[in-house]
Amino acid sequence: MYLVPVAGSRDFLVTSGSTMAAAEIARQMTEGARNLSLSGHVGFDGMPDQLVNKSVCQGFCFNILCVGETGLGKSTLMDTLFNTRFEGDPSPHNQPGVHIKSSSYELQESSVRLKLSIVNSVGFGDQINKEESYKSLVEFIDAQFEAYLQEELKIKRTLHNYHDSRIHACLYFIAPTGHSLKSLDLVTMKKLDSKVNIIPIIAKADSISKNELQKFKIKIMSELVSNGVQIYQFPTDDETVAEINGTMNAHLPFAVVGSTEEIKIGNKMMKARQYPWGTVQVENENHCDFVKLREMLIRVNMEDLREQTHTRHYELYRRCKLEEMGFKDTDPDNKPFSLQETYEAKRNEFLGELQKKEEEMRQMFVMRVKEKESELKEAEKELHDKFDRLKKLHQDEKKKLEDKKKSLDDEINAFKQRKTAAELLQSQAQQSGSQQTLKREKERKNNPWLCTE
Ligand code: GTP
Ligand code: MG
């Protein structure tokens, strides 16, 4: 049950419902606001000061990604921009791929503290096959967005003191060839342009002549446009900076020179690069666009770069990620869909899917059991058949053996009978033989003249 204020009156409507009603209340509350004049000082005109004090107290953070081939003067430019010396050791350049090196620093100017992170693309452009060079950059940028999203989605969030590592500006260093952009530059910038504010700069601009530089700048911009690469445009909607930003947009890409060396020019020490034929003054706008870059990047548009990162690039990442996870703002009929409803719908969808999967698995299990059962029955039947076959074989064998045994027994009996008969005959023969011998012995005794054989 809700009380909805009626626009332009002090009446309230009593209504019920959920998200739709809440949205309606919010709409009516803002639309129904009336303009009133104050009859005395209240004090909320101090809000801007409160904001400034709070921000100064908290400090600021700014993260810069430097992308560019080896030795284009990235580290020197960072040192020159922030008037300090950041990293000491030169980066290795014999790596199989591009790797990301992030270093954080605490800087202070007057009472303002700045947590600055400089992210370097070590080994960019060093490989023979440069196809995958952009990948580690994209992965790094996405990983910072993901970390922020995870913090946002936590129940206990600590976003007020969260160390924001999202990249606010990408300085893309273009080699001062004077010709055109390399395909590596175009591919990398195209892959990065929806994720980060790209500010293209022509590095080591002291190595290119004034006329060539103008042509080179025009060529670069036309190539970026024809390849649909979106670079960061200094905002012109805030009238306090619209003019300067509008002018500076026309100077892009900035042609810069970096140097930490200080040389005495007149009676002033100045950052410069000295050559046998002359001196290039880094902060002289007739020599290069270094000052323009510093003004645009740090003094005028640092906050806009941070804001663009949050409202444009991070928002895009967040939207894609949440859509990927199945969240949406409207239902198929284009009606608003609250997070609660999305959650319920997703939960029901998930439960439905789970039940479907369970049912599928159950059916699969029953089918498998049936299959196994029939397999086992088949095997059992085969075993029975085999047993029967073996049993019959055994019986046949047994019968054969018995028959054979019987015939052998018969043979043995017949043999025994024959043997007995033979023995009888033999003893009879022996008997008659010995009787004859006796008879002959007797005859010889009676007649000694009978000769013996
Ligand atoms: P890696 O980190 O090794 O990729 O190099 P890098 O891009 O950081 O370049 P680094 O700042 O180390 O500069 C490389 C060389 O270029 C050094 O000798 C610098 O003095 C020189 N250098 C830097 N900036 C400029 C410039 O604007 N013009 C000229 N001519 N030389 C420069
Ligand atoms: Mg370096």
Distance 185 CA to ligand 1 centre (A): 18
Q: 113-144: per-residue pLDDT in tens?
A: 999 999 999 888 877 777 788 999 999 999 99
Distance 289 CA to ligand 1 centre (A): 17
Best mutation site among 64, 67, 72 for ligand 1 pocket (most ligand atoms within 8 Å of CB):
72
Ligand 1 pocket check for 257: Cβ under 6 Å:
yes
Distance 44 CA to ligand 2 centre (A): 48
Ligand 1 pocket check for 292: Cβ under 6 Å:
no
Distances (CA, A) of 388 to 117, 391, 396: 86, 5, 12
Residue closest by Cα to atom 29 of ligand 1: 204
Residue closest by Cα to atom 24 of ligand 1: 73
Query: Residue 231 and residue 193: Cα distance in Å, rounded?
Result: 7
Residues with CB under 5 A from ligand 2 (ion): 74-75
**HEC assignment per residue over the chain:** CEEEECCCCCCEEEECCCHHHHHHHHHHHHHCCCCCCCCCCCCHHHHHHHHHHHHHHHCEEEEEEEECCCCCCHHHHHHHHHCCCCCCCCCCCCCCCCEEEEEEEEEEECCEEEEEEEEEEECCCCCCCCCCCCHHHHHHHHHHHHHHHHHHHCCCCCHHHCCCCCCCEEEEEECCCCCCCCHHHHHHHHHHCCCCCEEEEECCHHHCCHHHHHHHHHHHHHHHHHCCCCCCCCCCCCCCCHHHHHHHHCCCCEECCCCCCEEEECCEEEEEEEECCEEEECCCCCCCCHHHHHHHHHHHCHHHHHHHHHHHHHHHHHHHHHHHCCCCCECCCCCECCHHHHHHHHHHHHHHHHHHHHHHHHHHHHHHHHHHHHHHHHHHHHHHHHHHHHHHHHHHHHHHHHHHHHHHHHHHHHHHHHHHHHHHHHHHHHHHHHHHHHHHHHHHHHCCCCCCC
Distance 74 CA to ligand 1 centre (A): 6
Give the per-residue pLDDT at 99. Answer: 87
The CA angle 22-26-29, to the nearest 5 degrees, is 135
Distances (CA, A) of 354 to 293, 362, 386: 57, 12, 47
For the CA of 257, the nearest atom of ligand 1: 27
Paired tokens of 304: 């806009």
Ligand 1 pocket check for 227: Cβ under 6 Å:
no
Distance 208 CA to ligand 1 centre (A): 15
Paired tokens of 237: 């909607």
Distance 102 CA to ligand 2 centre (A): 12
Ligand 1 pocket check for 271: Cβ under 6 Å:
no
Residue closest by Cα to atom 26 of ligand 1: 204
Find tokens 């332009």 and name the residue: 8
Give the per-residue pLDDT at 23. Answer: 64
Query: Residue 365 and residue 144: Cα distance in Å, rounded?
Result: 45
Largest CA distance in the chain: 196
Q: Give yes or no for a contact between 82 and 113, defined as CB atoms under 8 angstroms apart.
A: no
Ligand 1 pocket check for 121: Cβ under 6 Å:
no
All residue ranges of the chain with pLDDT < 70 are 1-24, 26-30, 88, 336-337, 448-453
Best mutation site among 64, 69, 75, 76 for ligand 1 pocket (most ligand atoms within 8 Å of CB):
76
Residue closest by Cα to atom 23 of ligand 1: 73
